[in-house]
Structure formats: C-alpha cells, structure tokens
Amino acid sequence: MRLRLTRIETYVMGHSLLAVLAALAILTTVVALVDFVELSRTVGNQVDVGYNEILRLTALNTPSVILVLLPFAFLFGVLGAFVDLNRKSELIAMRAAGVSAWRFILPAAGAAFVIGMVTVGLFNPLASTMNAQFERERNALLEGVQSQGLKDIWLRQGDAQTQIVIRARAGDDDHGMLRLRGVSLFISTVSGQGAAQFSRRVEATQAWLMPGHWLLSGAREATPGAEAQRYDTLSIPSSLDGRNALERYASPKAVPFWTLWGAIARTERAGFSATGYRLQLQELLATPLLFAAMSILAAAFSLRLIRLGGVATLAGAGVALGFALFFFNQFCGALGEANAIPPFAAAWTPPVVALLSGFTLLFYTEDG
C-alpha cells in the first residue's frame, strides 16, 4: 500500500513539475519578447546598435525575469496540472482509492520548496551577476561611453580618528580600478568624545582607488586659515576597495544572495541605509515558502469535481488571487523600502498569507 501511494505521489509531483516548466517557458518567452521590444525602443532608438546587441542585453536580463516569473509559473503550472488530472478523472480515482488530497499535494509543495532553495542558493547569484552586467552595459550605451555611467557619487570612509566624505561627478572602471572624476574630499578628525571636526578639503580632477589609498591627480588642498596648496599627485589613505565601493549604487537585485550580508554590513558601516539590501535578503529567504504556498494555493483551487461544475470559475479565481498576491507583494515591498514596515514583515507577509489561504481552502474542501 505504501509503495502504491509513493507511486501516486511521484506521478502527481512529476506531472506538476512538467507543467510548471511549460508555464515558465511560455511566460519567459512572452516577457523576454516584450523586454526585447522595450530595449529596442529605449536603447535602439537613442544609440546606433544592432539587433544582436539588443538580443544580448535581453539575454543578460532574462535570468532576473525568470526569478520574478517563477512564483507565477508554480501557480499556473500546478493549477493546470491538477485541472488536467481532474478533467481526466485521475484525481477522482485517487480519492476513491482512499488517498487524501494532502498526500499528493504536499509532495508537490515540498518539491517547490526545494526548488526555491536551489533558486536562491544557485540561480540567484548567476542572475544577479548577469543583471549587474546588463545594467552596466545598458547604462554605458545610453551614456555613450564604455563606463558604468554613474552620476553624482557620494562615498564615506573612516575609522576612529578620521572620517572622509567623498563626492564625485562621475565614476567608471579603469582597467579593474575604480576611477572618479571631479572629486571633492571633505576630511574631518574625530575627537576623543566622538565628535567630528572639519579639518581640510581636497579637490582633484581624477582619483583612482588603489589598494589601501586614493591616488589623486591634479589635487588642490585647502585647510581653514591657510593658503591652498596644489599637488600633481596626492595620496590619501582609504579603507575601501573597488569591488564594493560603489555597491550601494547598484540595485539590490544585482547583489548575489551570498554577499548580501557583507553588503549590509559595509553599507551600514559607511553610515548609509541598508534597507534595500535587508528587504532583498528577506525576500530571498522567503522565496521557498512562496513557491510552496503558490503550489498549495493552485492545487486547492482545482480539486472541485468536474461533474459538479464551476471548475473553470474556481481556477479563474485562483489565477485572480495569484495576481492579487503579486500586487500585494509589490505593495509590501514598497512599504518595506520606505521603512513604513520592517523588511522582515514586508518580505514574509505575502507568502504567509498565500500559504494560509491555500490551507484554509484545502481544509474547507477536504474536511468541510
């Protein structure tokens, strides 16, 4: 009997995963086509680039699109799989044999949870890296230069004795080194009581971030009550490195999952808000639960017997609820970014609501 149940569970789970894969392929194709058209309009009309470059940008952005579409793929895929099983009367046969709906729904939800873990741990770093490359290349094309196209950069560094605020008009990657242009450094000394007192200002035409120091070119140093001094080159100690100096200017989605903790620590240590990174971290941690919740919700909306009618209406209601949860998720994310609610609550509320909704409908369907 146990072997028979295992085969049923495996069959339903495999059927569901194949349907999820098909739904993901359809959704990704449609959205990637829309993305290609949008890039052709925004980039192709402003910069003289061919369709090959637009197609390359679309491919770089596609993994990030897949991450957004995966919850919908589980919703539509599992919903379609269970409606198909119901239409063929296979679910009726399983339940007539004494198999509870929980026995073939929970394995599919468990597989969705495992896929969510793999997505966060393995696929997200790849998608984040490609998304960062996509943003750099798109901005470079729109700016007309092979750079990251950053404008009005503000950085902060310091230790127990010195605090430095750095402002630059633009920055780029110069053969692996961070280069800033139109640089101003505001240097303050920290007293024993922790108070910062302005000590000098340094302006430079360019600055390169070298290991352990800034190398300034065309520098002019001014201190209160003293005449300004000029230097061809000037070195200023630095605790930053080129890999993370401009991290806070990147989209949180462009930071891989395994480096989010470091990004949060570095951003807060520099005195900036890390709310975006915290929200992204919590959303990624909640992803497996979201996938499982979407699977349970989809299955719960497709268990009504065909002969009773109303299956199409119930399935449509499930799709509508899925879109409602998506907008609810976006709404919670906006509240989290605005610090109106904690990032933890903003990230975990939508999947918990989806899970409770699915369980409620299942309890009502199975246990009355």
Mean pLDDT of 204-209: 89
Pull the structure tokens for residue 233.
């080159």
**DSSP E strands, 211-260:** 213-222, 229-237
pLDDT of residue 29: 93
Residue 194's domain comprises: 151-245
Same domain, 132 and 183: no
Domain boundary among 204, 226, 245: 245
The verdict on 46 and 171 lying in the same domain is no
| Residue 54 domain-assigned (yes or no) | yes
CA-CA distances (angstroms) from residue 297 to 167, 347, 368? 50, 18, 17
Q: Over the chain, what is the mean pLDDT?
A: 81
Instruction: Give the pLDDT score at 4.
Output: 45
Domain end among 229, 245, 261: 245
Is residue 267 one of the residues assigned to a domain? no
**Same domain for 69 and 27:** yes
pLDDT at 181: 84
* Residue 269 falls inside a structural domain: no
276 vs 147: CA distance, rounded Å: 24
Q: Using one digit for the tens of pLDDT, what is the confidence trace for 147-165?
A: 444 557 778 777 777 888 8
Query: Same domain, yes or no, for 137 and 158?
Result: no
Q: Are residues 202 and 325 in the same domain?
A: no
In a domain, 199, yes or no: yes
The answer to whether the beta carbons of residues 226 and 201 sit under 8 Å apart is: no
User: Which of 245, 267, 291 is the last residue in one of the domains?
Assistant: 245
Residue 260 within a domain: no
Q: How far is CA 246 from CA 26, 174, 217, 337, in A?
A: 36, 14, 20, 20
Residue 129 in this model has a pLDDT that exceeds 60: yes
315 shares its domain with 220: no
- Separation of alpha carbons 368 and 357, rounded Å: 15
The three state secondary structure string of 71-89 is HHHHHHHHHHHHHHHHHCC
Q: Is the domain of 124 the same as that of 193?
A: no
Query: Based on the domain organization, do 214 and 300 belong to the same domain?
Result: no
C-alpha 108 chain-centroid distance:
25
Beta bridge partners of 177: 174
Secondary structure of residue 21 in the 3-state scheme: helix
**DSSP, res 341:** S
Q: What is the pLDDT of residues 7-50, one digit of tens each?
A: 777 888 888 899 999 999 999 999 999 988 888 887 766 666 77
Q: What is the pLDDT of residue 2?
A: 45
Q: Which H or E run contains 56?
A: helix 51-87
Same domain for 7 and 65, yes or no, is yes
As given in the structure block, the two tokens for residue 219 are 């520098």
Residue 293 confidence (pLDDT) = 92
pLDDT of 286 strictly over 90 = yes
Does residue 263 fall inside a structural domain?
no
Tell me: do 69 and 159 sit in the same domain.
no
> How do residues 338-365 score in pLDDT, each as one tens digit?
888 999 999 999 999 989 988 888 877 6
Q: 190 or 232: which carries more pLDDT confidence?
A: 232
Q: What is the pLDDT of residue 238?
A: 84
Whether residues 45 and 82 share a domain: the answer is yes
Cβ(217)–Cβ(204) below 8 Å: yes
Domain count, the chain: 2
Distance, in Å, from the CA atom of 56 to the CA atom of 210, rounded to the nearest integer, reads 32
The answer to whether position 258 is within a domain reads: no
Q: Are residues 190 and 298 in the same domain?
A: no
- Could you tell me which residues come within 8 angstroms of residue 236 by beta carbon, excluding any fewer than 6 positions away? 164, 185, 187, 202, 213, 214, 216
